[in-house]
A and B are shown apart, each in its own frame.
Chain A
């Protein structure tokens, strides 16, 4: 029985939470992610950058009503990695089904 390796980028509480949220929506603002994950702005910002560097999410900075806005969106690579992560999790939890 061989277990699939869990993606270290996703196997972290906050990064997994961010990608799980972004999987369900088309795009979301930084403040939405902060509110839903109940995280600090600094920590969230660091984890978003890690996801961005891995190519899992796209980050767009823009101005809306003179206020800066950071919009995050999951990429195709991010979706594929998330699916692989969930499959790997399932193989750990239901080893008999593999």
Chain B
């Protein structure tokens, strides 16, 4: 873009519109976070189902590993060098949503240990996952994430109705597969397509 060309009023408006739209289109998600997080939850859910089914010892072993993994990932996320070239108002808002979600997540874990049944607690997990997906899906205009949110809420209700914890774990795995893995894959493919397009 040259600087000293004569600038008409129409051209000025065109520049303003073009630049504002360029800044808006910068909000992206490569989907890997959803894929990683979703895979961990599915593995933890299926491990619990398997341990209950086979009558093995610690049925929450998968969730304990998931908890440790989450703490490690959150610590890495906090301290990793930030490489974003731009910081938007939406970025700041989503950061607060992430913090709120993390606090809710650990509060639910605490409640399962001291106050509510595992059946209810894991239903609350799906509820807050859905909340996160709806907000993030809205921010990046991802219909698959918003659909995933609806599926997670339906899954949460199904878990509250169902009283056999073993099947709760299967409901959770199914809801997360539709809510996290499928949107994650779609976002990842869109991100790759966009990046390949930029390179060509």
Contact = CB atoms under 8 A, between A and B. Distances in A.
Given A13-B1, A39-B1, A28 B85 contact: yes
A24 to B, nearest CB: 4
Contacts, number: 88
* Chain A interface, DSSP helix/strand/loop, else mixed: helix
B4 interface: yes
B88 to A, nearest CB: 5
B19 A14 contact: no
A28 B7 contact: no
Q: How large is the interface on B (under 10, 10 to 19, 20 to 34, 35 or more residues)?
A: 20 to 34
Nearest to A93: B9
A14 B2 contact: yes
B87 A25 contact: yes
B174 to A, nearest CB: 39
A39 B15 CA distance: 14
Nearest to B89: A26
Contacts of B82: 64
Interface of A: 6, 11-17, 20-21, 23-29, 31-32, 35-39, 43, 47, 64-65, 85-86, 89, 92-93
